[in-house]
Amino acid sequence: MTTTERWQWLAVALVGGGLIYLLAPALTPFAIAALFAYLWDPVVDRLERLGLSRNFSVSLVFFFIIVGVVALILLVIPFTERQIAKFLEQLPRWLAWIQAEAQPQLEKRFGITLDFADPNKLIEMLSGHWREAGGVATALLAKVSKSGLTVLGWVAQLVLIPVVTFYLLRDWDVLVARVNELLPRTIEPTISRLARESDEVLGAFLRGQLSVMLALGTLYAVGLWAIGIDVGPLIGMIAGLISFVPYLGAIVGVGMALIAAVVQYQDWTHVIMVLAVFGVGQTIEGYVLVPKLVGDKIGLHPVAVIFAILAGGELFGFLGVLLALPAAAVFMVVLRYLHEKYTASTLYQAEQPQPEVSGVVVVSHGSVVAAGDLEPLPTVAQAAPGIVLPGGNDKPGAH
């Protein structure tokens, strides 16, 4: 690639980034639709390999997506709401236990003082803030509802997402082929390779990690519910949702579940049961879920994932959050490609000059002489009597 071409690609990148920044609100529904299409394209491709048409495969996938969304609205959301209400009911007991039991032990053993306010006052303060937040939300909603154009824009974006998803999913392979045709032939092999590797990384992370999060959340929720923790399903769902950061979900879940078990039962039996639930969950995650669903092709460190999401949200808002993981996956693939090129370059593999001295010669009495300092070997006639030189032509009786 020449210098002119590099500057041209840099200009294209800058213009593209500027357009994304300026058009972020309008591009958000298209980005969501593209993400959905990307996630479900392998399923449609598999149905096509079974003999179904592309249109029928997309329609079938859409049907199951709609059924899943309706089930989520009708079942999961009301259940979560009841769990949150039950948690708020038990919160005063949690705070009372922390003040009466945990705080004295921490002060006695570790010298740590937890300056908790009175539980009743804390609950009143939280309730007041909830009411205040609800009032602000109501006022905001009333103000927004007066603007017919704003409401119409929201509705249009919500309707636009499934429509664009359907067409992108139907024409995904065609669009990928068209983009590949537009690439300059000189860089097409490199771009195609980087695109394949990015697809492996991003696909493994999104599909695999979402599956792991769902499986762990279900496992923790069912396990804590089975041992009798009232808010166990809520704790399990929270632990599953944040399990994309290794050990964070388990640590938060164990902490909340132990407090709930101690406050609710005040015995060691349920504490051991809670530890057993999370121990089984971590074992299944490490030996079954991650190897089977995620594999070893991710290459995205959890810290890099968090930073990418925060940086994307800061730069481009909600659109940046959506584009953070794809951008991070591509960035990691490009870094590995540059590292490969660097280690194969002459700059990295420059040969070191070899010393002229290739060996040493040990002579009598343990003295060492460098090979370059040696004088020519004496001839047989000059050698001391009784010494046989290597490679000599001595014959019996020559001495």
Share of the chain above pLDDT 70, in %: 74
Q: Measured between alpha carbons, how far is 279 from 256 in angstroms, rounded to an integer? A: 15
| Closest listed residue to residue 204, CA positions, set 312, 296, 301 | 296
Q: Measured between alpha carbons, how far is 189 from 366 in angstroms, rounded to an integer? A: 62
Helix ranges (H only) for the chain are: 3-22, 24-49, 54-71, 77-97, 103-110, 119-146, 148-170, 172-182, 188-203, 209-226, 232-241, 248-265, 268-284, 302-316, 318-343
- What is residue 394's predicted lDDT score, i.e. its pLDDT? 47
DSSP 292: I
Specify whether the CB–CB gap between 101 and 93 falls below 8 A: no
Show the low-confidence residues of the chain (pLDDT under 70): 1, 5, 110-151, 153, 294-300, 302, 350-399
Cα 61 versus chain centre, distance: 26
- What is residue 264's predicted lDDT score, i.e. its pLDDT? 83
Q: Measured between alpha carbons, how far is 211 from 113 in angstroms, rounded to an integer? A: 41
| Closest listed residue to residue 28, CA positions, set 313, 311, 309, 318 | 318
- What is residue 219's predicted lDDT score, i.e. its pLDDT? 93
pLDDT in tens, 285-343: 888 887 777 665 556 676 777 788 788 878 777 777 777 777 887 888 888 888 888 88
Please tell me the pTM assigned to this model: 0.60
Can you give the C-alpha Rg of the chain in angstroms? 34
- What is residue 117's predicted lDDT score, i.e. its pLDDT? 45
CB atoms within 10 A of CB 378: 11
- What is residue 125's predicted lDDT score, i.e. its pLDDT? 55
Domain boundaries, the chain: 26-343
Specify whether the CB–CB gap between 294 and 205 falls below 8 A: yes
Rounded to the nearest 10°, the torsion over CA 383, 386, 391, 397 is 110
CB atoms within 10 A of CB 34: 20
